[in-house]
Structure 1
Amino acid sequence: MTEAPIPSWQEHGEGRRAIVLLHGLGGNAGLWGPTLPALAGYRVLAWDMPGYGASAPVEPGFPALAAALGRMLDAAELERADLVGHSIGGMVALEFALTWPERVRSLILYASPPAFGGRDPAFRERFLADRLAPLEAGRSLAEIAPQVVGRMLGDAPDPAAAPAAIASMAAVPEGGYRAALATLVTFDRRDDLGRLDMPCLVLVGEADPLAPFHVMHWTASAIPGARMAVIADAGHLAHLERPGDVNTMLTSFLDRVGAD
């Protein structure tokens, strides 16, 4: 029997407490560079999601992605960690926290709703068709990245945000991107949010078109004791657009959790 693959990760810093960073659909482990200064004093692990970077793919679905995260924690000899998940990475973090809550010290859901879209299957089909159409027409991820990233950003982002996000998306393997899209549209954990009992922060860009404020506000209200933080003028990539603001919010939450 083939052994289940362990995701690849980048590691930064040292500390008794571990923070795990889970990137979004067009991201990778290296896209967290602007976030790292806020996490000095922690052991920080940033993964390449299965199918991305050096990480081998796994079977489709969020249970398989959450199990892969567990294998990564085991390989890193971590019984417990704080999870920071962006977009689809937040969905993986939420799936993991609901399945293995004893391994999650705190949970940060960043630009990550608890379900994809509405309950209408036609919406999912339209979304997939729209995202896949350029690839089916023979265009590469590098060719479509500027347009996709441009739709995600808020007003007046940091000048480094768009180039970093475009380069990251351009480097995503097409097979991994297609698999992530197909998995994304299956997610729905809305009815399970009330079971979360670890400290939670819901982080949202004020102008995020993909994880809108009203959805994230509802998410925070459905999680017992959750805190919410809003990044003014930011879109879906707030940690690149407004890194200073995001870092302050992360530090404040993590320090508070550490003091509890």
Structure 2
Amino acid sequence: MTVFLLHGAFGAKAYWRDQTAALVANGYRVVAWDAPGYGMSPLPDPFDVDVAAAALARLIDAVGGSRNVLLGHSMGGMIAQAAFDLRRDRVHGLVLSATSAAFGKTEGEWQQKFVSDRVAPLDAGKSIAEFGPGMLRRMMAPGASGPGVERVIEVVSNMRPETFRAAIHAISRFDGRHILPRMQVPVLCIAGEHDLSAAPPAVMEKLAGKLPRGEFVCMTDVGHFAWAERPEVFNRHLLDFLQRRVRA
């Protein structure tokens, strides 16, 4: 079985180190990507979730196995949903971490504030390395620490500003609610207890309830980056789900 690891708007494939090690140790094949505009790839113009999902669908065609699972965090979870809809015959399960099926209307007050709050430091002339660590720690549980946390901060601090901006706008425009009834595969939705602004547990529980074969887990003592804040616990949920619900 091949597991595709899809990072969020703030990220890159490098921060999946703990999950890659755990999956490989348990016999899974792993494909961790840098989404278009991340890593060494150029930023598409325009960039949105559908553009990234189309690229992921092509990647599944090129390197996917006979059974494939998409593990998507935050924006990566949105990309996973959209890519599933493009390759329903090739995706056999999903793990959605701290994400949602829709961000609402782009002209909505909450959505506009979400975008403006996150790009305001760039508009003020600050670099991501300057404001990123504080922003990320506010998205985590109080006192979050460890190698995974430091890795997220390092990876995000090295992002290109144009990618950061484009990703924020992309997630604010996403609406995949029409896909949910078609998602007739096992789906694990993992939320963080302290993730109260980006992907609140109540929102993710509601998402799981709309999926024909969805299940919901809320991890305690973590915020938006559960897999980095408490990797051992996250990996246990991940491996249990794959073995119990997906593995042939």
Structure 1 length normalisation: TM-score?
Answer: 0.88
Deviation at 1:258, TM superposition (A): 3.9
Indicate how the Cα distance of structure 1 residues 168 and 259 shifts in structure 2: closer, same or farther if over 3 A, else same.
Answer: closer
* Superimposed CA distance per residue, residues 120-152 of structure 1 (whole angstroms, 9 cap, x where no aligned partner): 622222222211111011101111111111111
User: Which structure 2 segments of 5+ residues have no match?
Assistant: none
Match of 2:40 in 1: 54
* 1:152 and 2:139 correspond: yes
Aligned partners of 1:86, 1:166: CA distance in 2, in Å? 16
User: Which structure 1 segments of 5+ residues have no match?
Assistant: 1-16
Aligned partners of 2:121, 2:247: CA distance in 1, in Å? 49
Deviation at 1:78, TM superposition (A): 4.2
Match of 1:218 in 2: 206
Aligned structure 1 segments of 4 or more residues deviating by more than 3 angstroms? 77-80, 117-120
Cα RMSD after superposing both structures? 1.7
Deviation at 1:73, TM superposition (A): 2.2
Deviation at 1:37, TM superposition (A): 2.9
Whichever residue aligns with residue 18 of structure 1, its letter is T
Q: Which of 28, 31, 50 is equivalent to 1:45?
A: 31
Aligned partners of 2:121, 2:230: CA distance in 1, in Å? 30
Aligned partners of 1:216, 1:43: CA distance in 2, in Å? 27
Structure 2 length normalisation: TM-score?
Answer: 0.92
Greater alpha carbon shift after TM alignment, 115-124 vs 204-213: 115-124
Deviation at 1:65, TM superposition (A): 0.9
Greater alpha carbon shift after TM alignment, 122-131 vs 69-78: 69-78
Deviation at 1:109, TM superposition (A): 0.7
* 1:25 and 2:13 correspond: no
* 1:254 and 2:238 correspond: no
Deviation at 1:45, TM superposition (A): 0.7
| Identity across the alignment (%) | 37
Match of 2:85 in 1: 98
Aligned partners of 2:241, 2:143: CA distance in 1, in Å? 26
* Superimposed CA distance per residue, residues 187-207 of structure 1 (whole angstroms, 9 cap, x where no aligned partner): 112243122101111111111
Aligned partners of 2:162, 2:70: CA distance in 1, in Å? 26
- After TM superposition, list the pairs within 5 Å mapping 1:1-260 onto structure 2: 17-40=1-24, 41-58=27-44, 59-76=46-63, 78=65, 80-117=67-104, 121-209=108-196, 210-259=198-247
Aligned partners of 2:234, 2:74: CA distance in 1, in Å? 15
Greater alpha carbon shift after TM alignment, 72-81 vs 175-184: 72-81
Match of 1:9 in 2: none
* Superimposed CA distance per residue, residues 59-84 of structure 1 (whole angstroms, 9 cap, x where no aligned partner): 32222111110122233254652000
Aligned partners of 2:246, 2:61: CA distance in 1, in Å? 23
How many residues of Structure 1 are paired with residues of Structure 2 in the alignment? 244
* 8 A Cα contact 1:111 1:236, kept in partner: yes
